[in-house]
Amino acid sequence: ENNPNYSSKSIITIPVVVHVVWKNSIQNISDAQILSQIDVLNKDFRKLNIDTINTPTIWKTISSDCEIEFCMATIDPNGNATTGITRTQTTVNSFGMNNDPVKSTSTGGANPWPSDDYLNIWVCKLDNLLGYSTVPSGWNDPGDGVVIGFNYFGTIGTVQSPYNKGRTATHEIGHWLNLDHVWGSGWSSCGSDQVNDTPIQEEENYSCPGFPHNPNSCGTTNANGDMFMNYMDYTNDACMNLFTTGQKTRMISAINLYRSNLSQTICSLPTNIIDISIRNKKLIKIVDVLGKIIFQPKTNTPLFYIYDNGSVERKIILE
């Protein structure tokens, strides 16, 4: 018998690695600033953002908990403990989109981690744009991931108004999960974003329009006008507050189609991957739950023993 009061959710958790590529120290943003961005993502993709109250009443019912979460990777591609943050000093003044220079050490950037296990986010100084993203059909391309300007990432530190609430990354990860702009893939064209519950919109919006904005545009009878507060428009961070149910469906489909092996197990050191079939593995190091190397194992404390074959064992020495 189903209990109508009980609803189960299946949350998809996406492991993230943030590659900070910096020339001067101000671009080398703090761990706290990075975590402030992850916090925004976990609010926006779960409809836990407090500004959801600003969504116009007419669209509140389709404002969606996308059931997608993000976590900083705690295991790197070699099986070692990590904070999920890499830091690379560069001689490049600023990076552009063409040929993705920030995504390779050979051009002054940082190499990605395997894109079938991690969402790669590069943070650097960008030329004349807030950020950019690849699309899901490029899952296996080495450049898969998103790039965000260091002054538009997170909510503290180097962020600059009006792009200081972390919505550049929310928007770009929307693209990374197959969303188009709400006005479609062209410009000023009343195009379609292939999502039914977002109204047709003539073109992008900037700043912070009042509601309703552009009613009956594109020859429609839509008195509510543009959904300019959708994360997939170009309005100010403080004016964005929703993904729709249709956008959620499209993102989940993209994950299922292209990204079915994404796993949250590389976000927390697992307790059950001891590989007893491998002999002669050599202990590399022992770390605590914060990733700090431990030289003298403590008792009654969970510690992680990391071996040269990539395996990790969680042990507690009981006193």
Active-site residue numbers?
A: 172
Looking at beta carbons only, is 222 or 268 nearer to Ca ion? 222
- Is 203 a binding residue for Ca ion by CB under 5 A? The answer is no
Q: Where does this chain touch Ca ion (CB under 5 A) — which range of 69-77, 151-159, 197-205, 258-266?
A: 197-205
Tokens 């006005």 sit on residue: 183
- Is 193 a binding residue for Ca ion by CB under 5 A? The answer is yes
Residue 102 in contact with residue 133, Cβ under 8 Å? no
- Find the distance separating the first CA and the last CA of the chain, reported in whole Å: 47
Q: Where does this chain touch Ca ion (CB under 5 A) — which range of 81-89, 188-196, 249-257, 308-316?
A: 188-196
Instruction: Collect all residues with Cβ–Cβ distance below 8 Å to 277 and sequence separation of at least 6.
Output: none
Q: Where does this chain touch Ca ion (CB under 5 A) — which range of 115-123, 136-144, 156-164, 194-202?
A: 194-202
Burial bucket for residue 104 (CB in 10 Å: 0-12, 13-18, 19+): middle
Looking at beta carbons only, is 100 or 180 nearer to Ca ion? 180
Question: Binding marks (x or -) toward Ca ion, 139..178, rule CB under 5 A?
Answer: ----------------------------------------
Residue 33 in contact with residue 100, Cβ under 8 Å? no
Looking at beta carbons only, is 135 or 190 nearer to Ca ion? 190
Nearest of 252, 232, 38, 265 to residue 136 by alpha carbon: 252
CA geometry: angle at 194 spanning 228 and 174, to 5°? 60
Residues in the chain: 319
Question: Binding marks (x or -) toward Ca ion, 106..135, rule CB under 5 A?
Answer: ------------------------------
Identify residues 30-89 at the interface with Ca ion (CB under 5 A): none
Give the footprint of Ca ion on this chain (CB under 5 A).
Answer: 193, 195, 198
